[in-house]
Every structure is written in structure tokens, then in C-alpha cells.
A and B are shown apart, each in its own frame.
Chain A
Amino acid sequence: MNAKYEAVIGLEVHSQIKTDTKVFCNCSTDFHSQPNTNICPVCTGQPGVLPVLNKKAVELLVRTGLALECRINKKSVFARKQYFYPDLPKNYQISQYDLPFAEHGKLNISVDGGVKTIGITRIHLEEDAGKLVHDIGMKKLDYSLADYNRTGIPLMEIVSEPDMRTPQDAAAYLTALKSLIEYLETSDCNMEEGKFRCDANVSIRPVGQKEFGTKAELKNMNTISGVEEALVYEIQRQIEVVENGGKIVQETRTWDPDEKVTKSMRSKENAHDYRYFPDPDLVPVILDDEFINGIKKNIPELPEIRKQRFISQYGLSEYDANVIISDKALADYYETALETASKQADNSGKQIANWITTELLGKLNSAKLTIKESPVKADNLGTLVALIIKGTISGKIAKMVFEDMFNDGKDPDTVIKEKGLVQISDEGAIVAICKEAVAESPKIVEEYKAGKERAIGAIVGLVMKKSKGKANPQMVNKILTDLLKQ
């Protein structure tokens, strides 16, 4: 980026709150239903209907607010945001204006090896709009179709302070926020399903200037990398405009992921006069300390704390800990595997982490599976590692067993039994094989006795071959060494 300018970035995230019903009526929030089947007179804005607040939506939003270190307002009020659009049945959205549920929080993000604190201005509760369909398959329609299943699903709008300075900051913020919310289980954050959406406000200013420049609002970035790409483009665009003597227009721009540019959206003259006023169909929500403490108690262990615990309790490296806590499901998998292993052997923490990061994740990625879909269940991985620690199989054999476990979903004991892979640790048996191997390798024995210590490796290899890889490698080494001393 141009060294003369710095960017100022703020992000608005809309995250669908994970409730079973919509925020103001009892319709289901199920994503996979047929169009216009999760509707009722209330969410389709029929004459005479009235909204009734979903308590769970408030609880989950407050949980999120507390985790983001926000102040939870004692009194919260709903407001009508008025504009006309076919996906908005009442032609106003019930949202919040003056008194949102949560304000003045923060989120720490890791960028460039350091930690940055991004302020959270507010979190408020609002209802989602419906979906408009403009084309069917490849065919563009000359009319639009409205589906109101999504209308009324609760959203938390999380507004950050304009504390970000680079597209990388933005990506890190979104990743951290998404991870946190997934940990809290207050939203699914599935970006493909539109449950976690992001708009960006970005402006530039000469380095050292205190005032903000004119900002542009960016929409339609459907992935975190899309946000980063769009910001890179837009910052450059704004710099070019200014360098060429132009002025930045305050406008909404849409990101085109195919052409990789931002485009001005056709804006109406009367844009943004939303005529907010408190919704007279709803009453204020008064949250006392008892309520808030009740929510606080139920907050699950947050990623940063879990990571520290993995490092101190299980001896993981910072890197491994980071990888494992990055996805709550993966962290849960790890602890389940560890629990199983601990019942059978000690000190399995690091090894399990290792198996996950070096073996499991790679295979899952290639097969395009998530950790939840892993054919190797957590307890089975735990058992496998315990078997290595106990010496029942060698690390090398374990890799073969793991192959089978992954491909067939079998548990380790079954695979080992079927393939007769139990490690040979019987001293007598190993001595016998070693004696055989020594007898068959006179030349190597000579070399070894002449001082070439590494030559023993070839005899070890022969022993392993004879034992079909099942001989305990440490024992083989020791016994061979002893034999060759004689």
C-alpha cells in the first residue's frame, strides 16, 4: 500500500442468532425449507398483526455482548427503520437505534505477530429481511420473486469502531469474531448460508492526519478473503482518485467477485432517511444484574483461554494450540481423543496434537471433509495414540493402522487384530530374529566391528523386514547392539 496514505476501516457484521424461531413470531428458522413455508401472518406483514419478542434471541445476543466485553444496557428499546423494499413485508425493519442491548466492547486480534485491540461500538438486535430471486439457473428473470422464510430471523448487528488500518486487520478481525461466536454457540456463522455477513466502511487519509476521509460502504463480500480482496482494491481505488485530484464520494459500492472490482450502486436521491422512531408495538426490555449474571455463568470457555490451557495443561506448542483451537469442533475433538487416551496411557497430549496436525487434518482436507465428518472418531484416535505409548504397536505401524481407520472407519483394535499387527515385544522372539539377521549379514557385521556404527541400520532393517515391521524398534536396537558387542 502507498506509504503516503493510511486506510481507516470499520466493519458491520450481521450474524444470524441461533434460535429455533424467528425474533417476533413462532415460525421456524430452518434454512433448508421450501420457499414460503416458514411464514405466518406476522412475518408476512398482514394487516393487524403484532410482534412478540423471542427471549432466547436476547439471551444469545447478551452472551455475545458479554464475551466481547460490552456494557449491557439496563434499558433497551426497539425502533422502526423505515424504507420500502419487496423483501421487507412491513416496509420497515424492527431494529434498534438509541438504546441497543450492548455497547462499548472490544476484541483482540493477532496480526503481524502482535496483538491489536479493535473496539466494538455496539451490538443490536434486528430482524432479517426475506430473499429476492432474480434469476433461475442461468436465466435472468424480468421480474423478481420473493421468499419470506428468512424474514424475521433474528440478527445481531455488530458494529466495530473504525480501528482497523489494513485489509489484513479486517480479515483477522472477522476470523477472530467468527471463531468467538462459534465458541459461544450464538450463531452458526455459516457464510455460504448467509448467516454471517459483512459490510465494510473504508476511507483513506494522509498519514498523520487526524480527521477521517470520506468513506465508502462496501457490500456483497461473501467470504473473509473476499472482504480482504475488496478492501485492497477499494483502498487502491481511493488513493488513485485522490492522487488524480478527485474527491471520494460517500456512496455504497458493491464488490464484484468475478471482475474483482467495486462498483457504485445506483443510489436513490432520498437514500438513508430511515425516520427511526421507537416501535410502539413493543415494550422496553429492562435487564437487571440477575439476568446478566445468569447469562455470564453459561458462557463456555473462550478460545484464548482454552488455548492457554492447552499450552499449560497439555504441553502443546503455541503453533499447535493455535491450530487446534481455531475451530471449536476441532478443539472438542482433541479433548475427547485426549480423554480416551488418558484412560489407557499417560502423557498423550502432545502426540495426539501431532497426529491431528500432521496426519488427520491433511487427510480431511484432501477428502474435503470437516472434522465433524471425520471417519476417524476422536476416541479411536485417542486409543491409537495410547497403543503407541504402551508399545503395543510402533509409530510406523500406527500410520498403516491409521490409513485403514480413515478409509474404513474401523477402530484401531479391530485393524490391528485383523492384520495381526501387534508389535513384537517379546525379548526371546526378537533375539531369535536378530540372531538370524546377524547370521545373514556377515559383511555388515564386519563393517560395524571395524567402526562403522551406522551400518547397524541395515541389519535393523532386515530384522524389521523379517518381522513384517512388528518388532519393537527400540528393543531391536538394544538387542542387536548387545549381540554385536560379543
Chain B
Amino acid sequence: MKISKKDVDYVAALARLEFEQKEEEKLTEQLASILGYVDKIKEVDTSKIEPTSHGFLGENVWREDTVVKSSEQTIESIFKNAPAKDGMFFKVEKVMDIED
């Protein structure tokens, strides 16, 4: 099955992934090959079949509305991994109304 560069660029943009040109060419081939393979599921008649989301699934799993405060140590640990911070905030490159 063929997948165009335009498709690959579109998907890469959605996934926020950057590729070098050679990488992207190789990837396009590989994706085409894999997509070509997985297409075989089209052969299966599923007209009367419901989807299965999990091998085993419960229902109505929920919890009470009780506050549990994170320890200071946990919050510190979370901040420790931040590549950039400013006081009590996580710091990130300026957001320019990028809508998606």
C-alpha cells in the first residue's frame, strides 16, 4: 500500500515528531510495508461483531471525593525532574496561541 510524503508529514506534525530527510524516506517505506501487512484484517467479516477493548474488563470503577494532599517531598520530586522552572511554576517556551 502506498503512503505519500504528504501523509507522512501530516502524521509527523500531529505526533510532534521531527525526522531527518533520509530517516523520513526510510520510514515512509517501512510504514507502507507495515500498513500493507495490517490491511489483511479487512478480509475478516466483522459485520455482526461488537468490538472488544480489553481481555477482561470491569465496570463502574470509581472512588470517593476525599482530598489526599501530596507530600511536600512528592511535589519536590516532581519539580526535580523539570527541565526548567521559575519559582513555583514550570517554565516553557512562549506559547503563541497555537491552536490544535
A: which residues have CB within 8 A of B? 19-21, 26-28, 34-41, 44, 46, 52-58, 83-86, 132-134, 141-148, 252, 265-273, 275, 278, 280, 282-286
* Minimum Cβ distance to chain B for residue A315 (Å): 41
A53 with B62: CB separation less than 8 A: yes
CB within 8 Å of A: which B38-85 residues: 53-54, 57-70, 74-75, 78-79
Residues of the A chain whose Cβ atoms lie less than 8 Å from the Cβ of B53: 278, 280
Can you add 20 more A-B contacts, CB < 8 Å, to A28-B67, A266-B99?
A: A21-B66, A26-B63, A27-B68, A40-B78, A52-B62, A54-B62, A55-B64, A56-B64, A84-B16, A134-B94, A141-B94, A143-B92, A144-B91, A145-B89, A252-B99, A271-B99, A273-B14, A280-B54, A283-B57, A283-B59
Majority SS of interface residues in chain B? loop
Supposing A21-B66, A55-B63 touch, asked if A267 and B92 sit within 8 A by C-beta, the answer is no
Residue with the highest number of chain B CB atoms closer than 10 Å, among A52, A144, A278? A144
Find the B residue at minimum CB distance from A46.
Answer: B78
Supposing A86-B95, A266-B99 touch, asked if A40 and B63 sit within 8 A by C-beta, the answer is no
Supposing A44-B78, A280-B53, A284-B59 touch, asked if A20 and B89 sit within 8 A by C-beta, the answer is no
A-B contact pairs, 23 of them (CB 8 A): A36-B88, A36-B89, A39-B70, A39-B78, A46-B78, A53-B62, A55-B62, A55-B65, A86-B90, A86-B95, A134-B95, A141-B94, A143-B94, A144-B93, A145-B86, A145-B89, A145-B91, A148-B90, A265-B97, A266-B99, A269-B13, A271-B99, A282-B61
Residues of the A chain whose Cβ atoms lie less than 8 Å from the Cβ of B92: 86, 143-146
The listed residue (A55, A84, A148) touching B100 by CB distance below 8 A is: A84
State in angstroms the CA–CA spacing of A39 and B62 once bound together. Answer: 20
B94 with A270: CB separation less than 8 A: no
B66 with A270: CB separation less than 8 A: no
A20 with B61: CB separation less than 8 A: no
Find the B residue at minimum CB distance from A47.
Answer: B81
State in angstroms the CA–CA spacing of A146 and B70 once bound together. Answer: 18
Size of B's binding interface in residues, CB under 8 A: 38
A144 with B59: CB separation less than 8 A: no
B60 with A145: CB separation less than 8 A: no
The listed residue (A19, A28, A36, A266) touching B90 by CB distance below 8 A is: A36
A20 with B75: CB separation less than 8 A: no
A40 with B94: CB separation less than 8 A: no
Residues of the A chain whose Cβ atoms lie less than 8 Å from the Cβ of B78: 39-41, 44, 46
B88 with A286: CB separation less than 8 A: no
B67 with A36: CB separation less than 8 A: no
B99 with A37: CB separation less than 8 A: no
State in angstroms the CA–CA spacing of A141 and B35 once bound together. Answer: 45
State in angstroms the CA–CA spacing of A399 and B18 once bound together. Answer: 75
B90 with A56: CB separation less than 8 A: no
State in angstroms the CA–CA spacing of A468 and B60 once bound together. Answer: 72
Residues of the A chain whose Cβ atoms lie less than 8 Å from the Cβ of B16: 84
A20 with B65: CB separation less than 8 A: yes
Residues of the A chain whose Cβ atoms lie less than 8 Å from the Cβ of B61: 52-53, 282-283
Find the A residue at minimum CB distance from B75.
Answer: A39
B13 with A270: CB separation less than 8 A: yes
Supposing A20-B66, A275-B14 touch, asked if A285 and B95 sit within 8 A by C-beta, the answer is no
B62 with A145: CB separation less than 8 A: no
Residues of the B chain whose Cβ atoms lie less than 8 Å from the Cβ of A19: 65
B70 with A265: CB separation less than 8 A: no
The listed residue (A52, A83, A266) touching B97 by CB distance below 8 A is: A266
* Minimum Cβ distance to chain B for residue A468 (Å): 58
Supposing A36-B89, A145-B90, A285-B59 touch, asked if A266 and B13 sit within 8 A by C-beta, the answer is no
Residues of the A chain whose Cβ atoms lie less than 8 Å from the Cβ of B96: 266
State in angstroms the CA–CA spacing of A141 and B65 once bound together. Answer: 37
Find the B residue at minimum CB distance from A277.
Answer: B53
A144 with B69: CB separation less than 8 A: no
B60 with A285: CB separation less than 8 A: yes
The listed residue (B10, B13, B66, B91) touching A143 by CB distance below 8 A is: B91
* Minimum Cβ distance to chain B for residue A46 (Å): 7
State in angstroms the CA–CA spacing of A271 and B65 once bound together. Answer: 35
Residues of the A chain whose Cβ atoms lie less than 8 Å from the Cβ of B99: 252, 265-268, 271
A26 with B66: CB separation less than 8 A: yes
State in angstroms the CA–CA spacing of A54 and B68 once bound together. Answer: 13
Residues of the B chain whose Cβ atoms lie less than 8 Å from the Cβ of A269: 13
